[in-house]
Structure 1
Amino acid sequence: MPDTFLSDTRDEGRSGLGRWRQAELPEPPPTKGFQLLGVIGPGVILLGAALGSGEWLLGPATFVKYGLALLWVTGVAVFFQTVFNMELVRYTLYTGEPAVVGFMRTRPHAGFWAVFYALMYLLQSGWPAWAGAAAGAIFFLATGNLAGDGQVEQVYWIGVGVYLLCVAILLVGRRIERTLELLNWVMVAVILCGLLLLCLLVAPPSKWIGAVVGFAGYDWDRGHFALLPPGADWFLIGAFAAYSGTGGVGNLSLSNWSRDKGFGMGRVVGYIPAAVGGHEVALAPTGCVFPPTADNMQRWRGWWRIVRVDQWGVFFCGALLGMALPAILYTSVIASGEDIRGPGIAAKLAQSLGGGSWLALMVAFMGAWMLFKTQLNSLEGMVRAVTDILWTGSGRVRRWSNGDVRWVYYGVLGLFVVWALVALGLAQPIILLQLGANIAGFVMVVASLHILYVNTTMLPLELRPPLWRRAALVAMALFYGFFVALWLFG
């Protein structure tokens, strides 16, 4: 390895983790025509995780109460998250490691950051809030009534069933990432098309106009700009800001999925296979990097084009539509100023559309479908991230599993299942969701600055982010820090 290359990357092993190996960057796959759809994928998994929490629950609760002018928050948040996502994948393209492993390579030590980010995953995604909320929609489908305080036990057991179904899906397939990718292509297409159809059926033109100008912070109904509502519930607003797009550890999981998809050097290090249908795969405990030669830089530009399409074409556009369409739909049907939070929030729109009508049942089914999908993606991302933290950071764990990462993955999954059965009964799903979302805002503040540090100190000069991306990451930390401060002190 040339000395100039070593000088750029010499600090990567100082935290206690194994040092990087070296290889050539694999050739990017062909992307002509429909071949591109088979190449991209992590972005649609991330979009699938986004459509369900902020978009179907926290966003509508916010827009119904305060108006469509708050869509500006979504526009800014999704822009920042797209830039952030690409920086996470930048690290993975170069090293084949998830971004959280890159964080573990910084001071003070790998163990400190391993505990910190594992705790953030637990506090944000460990609450099975989406399964509990989906249970409310399923209860409505079964009974035609909105779940209330008297139906808490029934909703709990339905939520348990939803959660266990997510676990069952993660047991099958050859490559878990590929299973998620295929499911999310179908789910996202059905959800966005269904939402568009519903909006065309029930929304007046004024709501469409209100949503468009709302991205600029303009309140169409009141005729003035309204960036932040006076006397707002900042716990709700902070959660909405964090879960516009995906938010927090959900974004961090993108780099884990990108590694398993085989983006860049991820093709060299291996992936996590499924228990049923998969086979033992040698997942390297440390990354593998490439020297920035002319040939490798040409391949790098090919991979970077794929990442741009995956993020700007799929995640960015889909996340904006995914928030705007439910906003239009909810504000067209439910009276302005109403607080729709409660055990049956996922079926509130269906009830407002006429109880047992076909339209109401379609909405309730879509809500259950959307929230189930979000719970699946959130659970898998959390388990995958904690598995990667343990696999990279602990030789003892690798020896215990005899080199088969599936033992670690499904062991972690089992622990989270036990925790979920307890957590489902602690509070209403919407309260758990708001708690996790506000933790996500804090994660975004820390992680945006962390990936900026990693990518500007550990990557070769030729691969480091340009100045505008660095400025965007700092602005992102300030943006989310503002909302974290509001809910903490407001």
Structure 2
Amino acid sequence: MNNQNSHYSANQTEDRSSTPNNQQVPQPPQGWNQLKWLGPSFIWMLSAAGSGELLFTPRIAALYGYELLWALLAAVILKWFINREVGRFTVCTGATILEGFQHLPGPKNWAVWLILLPQFVVAISTVAGMAGAAATALILVTSGTVQLWTVIIILVTAAIVFLGQYNIVEQVSSYVGIGRTLAVVIAAIFVFPSIRDLASGLVPQVPQDVQYQEVLPWLGFMLAGAAGMMWYSYWVDARGYGATALKQEQPLEVKQLNADQQQRLQGWISLMTLSNTLAVVGALLAALAFLILGGELLRPEGLVPQESQVAETLGRLLGDLWGSFGFWFMIAIVFITFCSTTLSVQDGFGRMFADGTQILLQGFGVRGRWTNEQFLRKFYLVTLLAALPVAVYLLFGEPVSLLQTAGGIEAAHIPVVTGLTLYLNHRMLPEKLRPSKFIFAGTVIAGLFFAGFAGIYLLQLTSVIGGANGA
């Protein structure tokens, strides 16, 4: 289990095994006290801000206008279903989603391997791409190259997470996130398009000569990718939602709980649903604002955020409205957002890989420090989330391309996470705590939606259908 968390360390001071087996699931908070429990969803929302919203949405708008508005709405709404099911498992069992996958029937830990292996590529590419995008803002105000600042950003953010100071930075980033959302929403109101233009994008359509290597990463990172939705499990666990407060060594036998205990878990699911919904609404507002700004300000001038010009091009989103102040305000937003997202990525992946590695090595009978979760987190921070991203960026040095690679894998991985999570909830939860038929159907549709886009991308990549050349 995830024993410590810098966001909510107060909930993690007691080892799971020290809690008596007869401890009761706590009562869910009521009324205004619920506001104190919204943190996991807010952190989850912020973790996706740097790619799905800030980078790829203006880029898609610059390329295709509002033709893919329907896909944006579908991606965000459908991820609400998936994220809710991931959260449901952790709230009800007290286990992280990877620990749940460990208990699926079949070859030992097969599902954990299926999750972790592709995510190694995603982790390296995302950290390198995010830091590289942040560096494009620094070169506008300082001397030095993008490569130099990228290396510095990766090392500094990794050190912050390594030393346990991420919670302080995250609090500052939260306020910046709120300010960013308010600024872009206000700016979007200033340039709001005609209702006819927006309405035309609500009709499912595919732009002529669409490049799925552009669209798939956008949809994959929008709100959260496969990894981001699994991180939600860790943040819910760390905050102490539902059964996670019991600090169990193994997933709770939910089917053996009495009616009162199951009723309490239903209350926690309702709170998690509220938190999840608020995060989705906030992310959707920001994404729509960025789509409008990109469509109204970048597309008419043929500007597309790319590689070393990412920050400069994004600066036009507010600079064209509010002059020099707007430009530099946006540059600051770009830098802080990409840096804070890099921190979230390093923190989330560090937890997920430590948890997964612990599960796998214990399955082989390994003991000692290589199954110590804190040691593994720091090991992955130094190697996979710092040293390797530095090496990859110095070799390739293209932040947009790196993030497109990561986003494509994330989108293709979402149906896998969706299917495994639905099966896990059906297998381990009593009927009273399982998703309703409506929620189950919505989650299945979500998995099929992303599987469809991933399949079309592969067909385009292999030239089975047209449009394989990049935009």
Q: TM-score range by the shorter chain?
A: 0.7 to 0.9
Q: CA deviation at 1:179?
A: 5.5
Per-residue deviation, residues 365-423 of structure 1 (Å, max 9, x unmatched): 11111111211111211111111112334337973229853222112211221111111
Q: Contact (CA 8 Å) 1:124, 1:439: kept in 2 or not?
A: yes
Q: Contact (CA 8 Å) 2:188, 2:289: kept in 1 or not?
A: yes
Moved more, 239-248 or 57-66: 239-248
Written as runs of structure 1 = structure 2, the 5 A alignment for 1:26-425 is 26-33=25-32, 35-127=33-125, 128=127, 129-142=129-142, 154-173=145-164, 182-200=171-189, 203-206=190-193, 209=195, 213=199, 217-218=201-202, 225=203, 227-269=205-247, 285-290=249-254, 291-313=256-278, 315-336=279-300, 337-350=302-315, 353=319, 357-395=324-362, 399-401=367-369, 405-416=373-384, 417-425=386-394
In the alignment, the residues of structure 2 paired with residue 236 and residue 82 of structure 1 have an alpha-carbon distance, to the nearest angstrom, of 23
1:9 match: none
Q: Contact (CA 8 Å) 2:193, 2:296: kept in 1 or not?
A: no
Extract unaligned runs of 5+ from structure 1: 1-17, 144-152, 219-224, 270-283
Q: Contact (CA 8 Å) 2:81, 2:446: kept in 1 or not?
A: no
Extract unaligned runs of 5+ from structure 2: 1-16, 461-471
Q: Contact (CA 8 Å) 2:415, 2:451: kept in 1 or not?
A: yes
In the alignment, the residues of structure 1 paired with residue 132 and residue 394 of structure 2 have an alpha-carbon distance, to the nearest angstrom, of 9
Q: CA deviation at 1:62?
A: 0.8
TM-score (norm 2): 0.85
In the alignment, the residues of structure 1 paired with residue 312 and residue 408 of structure 2 have an alpha-carbon distance, to the nearest angstrom, of 23
When you count helix as a share of all residues, which structure comes out higher? 2
In the alignment, the residues of structure 2 paired with residue 185 and residue 29 of structure 1 have an alpha-carbon distance, to the nearest angstrom, of 25
Q: CA deviation at 1:430?
A: 0.3
Q: CA RMSD in A?
A: 2.7
In the alignment, the residues of structure 2 paired with residue 329 and residue 468 of structure 1 have an alpha-carbon distance, to the nearest angstrom, of 35
Q: CA deviation at 1:361?
A: 0.8
Report the AA paired with residue 183 of structure 2: G
Q: CA deviation at 1:253?
A: 0.9
Q: CA deviation at 1:140?
A: 1.9
In the alignment, the residues of structure 2 paired with residue 325 and residue 156 of structure 1 have an alpha-carbon distance, to the nearest angstrom, of 31
Question: What percent identity do the matched residue pairs reach?
Answer: 22
Q: Contact (CA 8 Å) 1:57, 1:346: kept in 2 or not?
A: no
Q: Which SS does the other structure have where 2:294 is aligned?
A: helix
Q: How many residues align?
A: 433
Q: Contact (CA 8 Å) 1:82, 1:312: kept in 2 or not?
A: yes
Q: CA deviation at 1:338?
A: 4.3
In the alignment, the residues of structure 2 paired with residue 320 and residue 254 of structure 1 have an alpha-carbon distance, to the nearest angstrom, of 18
Q: 1:134 to 1:312 in 2, by over 3 A?
A: same
Per-residue deviation, residues 317-340 of structure 1 (Å, max 9, x unmatched): 011112111122222322345443
Per-residue deviation, residues 451-477 of structure 1 (Å, max 9, x unmatched): 111111122222221111221122112
Q: Contact (CA 8 Å) 1:187, 1:373: kept in 2 or not?
A: no
Q: 1:327 to 1:295 in 2, by over 3 A?
A: same
In the alignment, the residues of structure 2 paired with residue 211 and residue 130 of structure 1 have an alpha-carbon distance, to the nearest angstrom, of 32
Q: CA deviation at 1:247?
A: 1.6
